[in-house]
Amino acid sequence: MARTRSWMVLPAAVAIMLVGGCGSSGSASGGSAPAAASESNPVGDIPDDQVFVPYRPADGSFAVQVPEGWARTDLPDGVSFTDKLNTVTVQELASRPQPSQDTVRGSEFTDITRTGSNVTVGTVETRTLPAGDAVHATYAQDSAADPVTGRVVRDDVELYVFWRNGTEVLLTLSGPHGADNVDPWRQVSRSFTWQ
């Protein structure tokens, strides 16, 4: 009886391997497609199934959705959330004059070009979002070198400047050049609300 069992299991295992091998390779003449295709994300693309959770500062003055599970780093004036090559940074600044496209081109980009690496300034415009008007700016810069590999990545960056009653919130979204993060970045920027 044990011999019969062993003899039957082997052909079944071989058949599973053969069928599995045949099903996963297509041919020019119309081979069968895989049963379940997995999503392939290029480097820096945020997965379509990314979950977002609310972030509120200690004073509770605003809320914004950030990606769940990303590494959090507290900053002197805010917080950043990072996963692989993408970063969401939220900074809250008090006693600030209302920003305009000109002031962002001047003061914000002065700071960015001073502290960033190989910064290329893009567009500056005013956008109407659910929280009201915000100045939106784009730029590109080189990332910090990876501490292990020394690799530097070119980042595309979006900056949203929100303002109310002297409080300015800078929302910075960055990821590798060419990554398709339009939808996640739109979700984060449109989720910003004053409390």
How many angstroms separate the CA atoms of 64 and 134, rounded? 14
Q: Is 45 helix (H, G, I), strand (E, B) or coil?
A: coil
Kindly report whether the global pTM for this prediction surpasses the value 0.85.
no
**Amino acid in position 93:** L
**What are the residues facing 173 on neighbouring strands?**
88, 158
CA dihedral in degrees (18, 19, 20, 21; nearest 10)?
A: 50
Q: What pLDDT is stored for residue 40 in this prediction? A: 54
Q: What pLDDT is stored for residue 1 in this prediction? A: 45
Q: What pLDDT is stored for residue 42 in this prediction? A: 61
How many angstroms separate the CA atoms of 52 and 72, rounded? 14
Count of other CB atoms within 10 angstroms of residue 44: 19
Q: Strands 78-83 and 167-176: what pairing?
A: unpaired
**Phi/psi at 183 (nearest 5 deg)?**
-65, -45
pLDDT, averaged in runs of 10, over the chain (195 residues):
40 37 42 46 84 97 98 97 96 96 94 95 97 98 93 97 97 96 97 98
